[in-house]
Amino acid sequence: MTKAPNKRGSTRANVNIEDDVNLLARRLEKHVSSLGQKFPGIWRTIDRARSFRGKTLDWPDWCFLPISGYLAILTNGAPLETIHKLPVKERLAISDVAQALSALAPWRVTKGIYRFHPELIDIVSSMSPDANLPVELFFHLPEWCIYVPTKGRFLGDDPIYGFFCHLEYDSNTGRRELRFLVDYDKGFIPVILHIDKGTIEEAVKDAQRESFNNIEKYNLRGMKNVMPSPKELELYIEKVRPMVSLILYLCSVNAEIVSPTEPGRKPSLPAPKRTKKGERIFPASRVSYWNVGYRIGSALERARKKSRFTHGGTHLSPRPHIRRAHWHTYWKGPKNNPEKRRVLLKWLPPIPVGVKSVDDLVPNVRNIRTN
């Protein structure tokens, strides 16, 4: 995921933020309504499928519904042997819809859009999550599925609006996955990471290997989804890293996530409500915008823009600069009781050198309406 080059004379500063917000909200609501129109009753059917959790089926609570559940709904519970006999294009079409549902169904119940401060998204996107990262870090996502806008950024040559992110549980193997659904004009691009692997590279390569094995196993030859060359794979990993870094920030214990319209409100999972036809989780009535890192982002932006200044007398001080941001993991809980210990992630921000302290800088945060 790369940033569009900054051009002089850009009218970006004149863009009406409120209109921009409403356009994105309508776009995402349209994604949801389109699926509802194409598959009447799909949301209620998904609720029924979720009601089997802990009864005839089981999966972790951090997963809204495994993708196998969506596949079962779309094929009326047909066995895999029957599905594999369908024409290749039909099988791939079912898979595409299942992947879209696995992101949009959980997103629909919270409708959270996590808007990073422009300065912070640049800094975090450039960070590399190469070190071995405990899988448990990703289970601190603020909601079942979130959406991160990425206006002005590209995946390859295609401009993208943003991406959905959620956790997936493979009900056949027990494998845990971090899944992205990249949102652009031509549709969606799924990105899958097998997070039981230690590094981002291993997570991506393992997912690619499985994709290649499935091409062989299910006779999908001739389709575009083939095993990439080593160079193509490295380019692919470079595009995935920024998205993973943004998610890691949202999973960190010191992530700054603030509602611009409801001070004190925090992201949370909705509680199911009892109805005559069983428990249901109703969709959120409106999109919820969350400002991410607006305080620290504004402070760091000021520090970056303050390129030179005087310090007593006529001599110029060294040019202010930013010490690189980095991740810090630590364990919490009693050492003599491993089951109660958990790993936490903390994002250590860039440290402005030669400028005022971050706490002394006053951020500029604009409140926006979302409906």
CB 333 within 8 A of CB 339: no
Look at residue 371 in the predicted model and tell me its pLDDT. Answer: 46
The span from the CA of 255 to the CA of 293, in Å, is 7
Q: What is 209-238 written as a DSSP string? A: HHHHHHHHHTT-TTSS--PPPHHHHHHHHH
- Please give the single-letter amino acid code of residue 30: K
Please give the DSSP secondary-structure letter assigned to residue 312.
S
- Distance CA(296)–CA(294), nearest Å, equals 6
Q: Is it the case that residue 243 has pLDDT exceeding 80?
A: yes
How much is the pTM? 0.81
pLDDT exceeds cutoff 80 at 212: no
More confident of the two residues 220 and 180: 180
- Beta-ladder partners of 168: 177
Max avg pLDDT among 8-17, 19-28, 125-134, 222-231: 19-28
Tokens of 223: 């389709």
CB 90 within 8 A of CB 74: no
Tens digits of residue pLDDT in 52-73:
888 878 899 999 999 999 999 9
- Residue type at position 292: V
Q: Which tokens hold the place of 111? A: 């409708």
Per-residue pLDDT at 130: 57
pLDDT band, very low/low/confident/very high, at 31 (cuts 50, 70, 90):
very high
Per-residue pLDDT tens over the stretch 296-320: 888 888 877 765 433 333 444 444 4
Contacts (Cβ under 8 Å, ≥6 apart) of 178: 138, 165, 167, 168, 192, 193, 195, 203, 244, 247
Q: What is the structure's pLDDT at 65?
A: 96
Identify whether the C-beta of residue 319 lies closer than 8 Å to the C-beta of residue 354.
Answer: yes
CB 320 within 8 A of CB 294: no
Digit-coded pLDDT (tens) for 108-146: 999 999 999 999 999 898 887 755 667 778 889 999 999
pLDDT at 198: 67
Q: Which two tokens stand for residue 335?
A: 């050492």
The C-alpha atoms of residue 174 and residue 194 are separated, in whole angstroms, by: 11
- State the maximum Cα–Cα separation within the chain, in Å, rounded to a whole number: 82
Q: Name the average pLDDT for the chain.
A: 79
CA 142 – CA 135 distance, rounded (Å): 16
